[in-house]
Amino acid sequence: MLPELSALQYFHFLRPEWGLLLIPWLAMVLVQNRQRADRDMFGGIIAPHLLQHLRLERFDRRWFNPQNLSRVFMLLALLVLMGPSWRQQPSPLSQDEAALVILLDASNSMQQTDVQPNRLARARQKISDLLALRPDKQAALIAYAGTAHTVLSLTADQDILNQYLAAIKPAIMPRSGKFPEYSLPLIDEILRDSQAPATVVMFTDGLGADSEQAFADYFATRPHQLLVEGVGSETETPGVAPLERKSLEALASAVQGHYIPLTVDDTDVRQINRRVDSHYVVVEDSALPWLDSGYPLVFPAMVLFLMWFRKGWTLTWAFVLLPLVLGSAPLPAVAQDNTKAEATTADSNHWFADWWLTGDQQGRLLMQLGHYTEAASRFDDPMWKGMAYYYAEEFMLAAEYFSRSDSDDALFNEANARAQARDYVRAIARYDRLLARQPDYPGAAGNRARVQALVDEINRLSESQQEEAGVGSEEKQLGSDDAIPAQGADEVVWQEAEIKQLTAEQILQDPATSEMWLRGVQQDPSNFLAIKFAMQLQERETPSPPAPGGGQ
């Protein structure tokens, strides 16, 4: 395994004196090359077309020849003798203080069921498996959607981590959207007392419009590593936002991190755990020995050495490469379902376009041709994805991608898309948020009035009908069935009730009251998290009072 880029600054040789052997070896190579060039004693006697068949050294013109093979072997042997090293052996007395910060995407798209039972449930399961592999190690949990909130700071108590992890769902988030970059300030706040570089693991199915640049700027100035696990399927299905694997891979590459695909077993979480454990800090302490990392080079040197004694060594070389060739060869065609077959065909059709056009350029061309759904799959920018789905009349999908951009235009487009999908209640909420930000935004007030008139009309028609339980959250999967056309007539009835407040001493003194209070707290922390997140958002948006001016 190659060393991490952050550890290359410590690269050195433990036994550099062996490098002096390069001087006589290079001198010998130069002498051999000069002798081969000057050796032409039969050039003026035998015809050139006959001489080339009489010379034994005609085989030396091939790259795979004994001479070149011996040079590669000598280089490998010298590297082993010189002892390359870039990390120290960890001290058995030191404590692993590297922290793990988990970012969990709690946006609406994470409730899609392309992976069972849904993306969010699968992500929670993977996080729980990862925590089980790291007992007694500190971890923190951050949930984000349209806002980001710290669920738990660094703690080694896995029971409470799993308890709060199970309570995370889109309904408790104060705003919809997908902005993982809002989690970055919270990471600094969590790690303010930690000196060791941390590992940030993000479980998500996509990004916001400005997420990649924000993450690149953040990790460029910090020693942390980023691991991204994509949760979901890339298969194009009507009404389902596919996994944005290319965007997540580009994000991981931009910060020198790693992308880990979702697996049905625990291979992915074990890979994450290995990368967390390998993210060590090189301690500049002369008392700790440096690890000799040149020993793995012994094995390829042994293979080359054995081939040297073979009479048909070029044939042996081919047999060594044969498993690699077979391993990279395409598998034979097998029967597959229509969806996978269509996806494979589409991938083979646009491979040539990927050489010349970016994803956004391909999407623009497809939109002009009227292929809106295919254009949405090509676009990388969430706003353009939303526009393509809007023209394809996939309004809830369009609203999902519009919500991933934090701009006035995106908010207006999301409100319009939800209005088209008869999701009137959420559309009004978006119009209100936009008007609070930009009261003079063109068309916002008029569109809100039209949608409000539709809601009022639906409420009047429902007065004579039996009241049904309203859907007041955004916790369902995306689709036309999720739309909330109206709240219903007289849906909420407020009744005054006397609230009896108990002190902590009264709760602890009365066993029955204490048991009832603890049972209510431990049943479902979702309500607690929802209130906590709403209060945090209100505090962030409340302007600080101006500082008092100094007296004269």
Q: Show the DSSP H helices in 174-244 as ranges.
A: 184-190, 211-219
- Clarify whether residues 158 and 247 are in a common domain: yes
Which pLDDT does position 26 carry in this prediction?
84
81 occurs within a structural domain? yes
Please give the average pLDDT of every successive group of 10 residues along the chain, which has 552 residues: 53 83 82 64 66 57 66 82 75 57 92 89 93 87 92 87 89 89 92 83 91 91 91 84 90 91 90 78 52 78 68 45 40 38 48 70 83 86 89 89 88 90 89 90 90 83 54 44 58 47 54 57 70 81 60 42
Whether residue 70 sits in one domain with residue 18: yes
Which residue in 219, 296, 220, 244 sits closest to 105, CA to CA? 244
Q: Which of 149, 250, 176, 247 is nearest to 207 (CA)?
A: 247
**Torsion angle, alpha carbons of 306, 309, 315, 318, to 10:** 20
Helix then strand then coil, in percent of the chain rounded to 5, is: 55, 10, 40
Q: Within a 13 Å sphere around the CA of 455, how many CA atoms are in the beta-carbon half?
A: 20
Q: Are residues 134 and 267 in the same domain?
A: yes
The pLDDT of residue 354: 65
Looking at residue 496, its pLDDT comes to: 47
Q: Which of 323, 342, 359 is the last residue of a domain?
A: 323
Question: Do 68 and 163 fall within a single domain?
Answer: no
The Cα-based distances of 507 to 501, 502, 519, 523, 525 in angstroms read 10, 7, 13, 18, 19
Residue 177 within any structural domain of the chain? yes
Q: Say whether both 105 and 252 belong to one domain.
A: yes
Do 55 and 165 sit in the same domain of this protein? no
pTM for this structure? 0.59
Q: Which two tokens stand for residue 282?
A: 């090189």
Residues 54 and 163 in one domain: no
Of the residues 482, 506, 527, which one is the last residue of a structural domain?
482
Contacts of 79 (CB under 8 A, 6+ apart): 294, 297
CATH of the domain at 422: 1.25.40
Q: Which candidate, 99, 102, 87, places its Cα nearest to that of 269? A: 102
- Please give the structure tokens belonging to residue 104: 């969990």
Q: Is residue 166 part of a domain?
A: yes
In a domain, 69, yes or no: yes
Do residue 124 and residue 273 come from a single domain?
Answer: yes
pLDDT for position 522: 53
Q: Determine phi and psi for 445, rounding to 5 degrees.
A: -65, -40
CATH code of the domain in which 266 resides: 3.40.50.410
Task: Determine the pLDDT at residue 52.
Answer: 67
Judge whether 284 lies within some domain. no
109 and 72: one domain? no
237: tokens are: 């299905």
- On the CB side of 536, CA atoms within 13 Å amount to 18
What is residue 63's predicted lDDT score, i.e. its pLDDT? 63
Contact 149, 180 (CB under 8 A): no
Are residues 135 and 212 both part of a single domain? yes
Asked if residue 61 is part of any domain, the answer here is: yes
Domains identified in the chain, total number = 3
Q: Provide the residue range defining the domain that includes 146.
A: 100-278
Residue 135 counted as domain residue: yes
Q: Is residue 204 part of a domain?
A: yes
- Which of the 8 DSSP states describes residue 46? S
Indicate the residue among 460, 482, 504 that finishes a domain.
Answer: 482
Q: Smallest Cα–Cα separation from 388: which of 412, 370, 406? A: 370
Count the neighbouring beta carbons within 10 Å of the beta carbon of residue 273: 21
User: Judging by DSSP bridges, how do beta strands 100-105 and 199-204 pair with one another?
Assistant: parallel
Same domain for 123 and 150, yes or no, is: yes
Q: Please state, as a whole number, how many other Cβ atoms lie within 10 Å of the Cβ of residue 482.
A: 19
Which of 433, 430, 395 minimizes the C-alpha distance to 415? Answer: 430
One domain for residues 120 and 217: yes
Buried b (16+ CB within 10 A) or exposed e, 512-527: eeeeeeeeeeeeebee
The pLDDT value recorded for residue 465 is 55
- Residue 29 is predicted with a pLDDT of 77
* pLDDT in the model for residue 39: 54
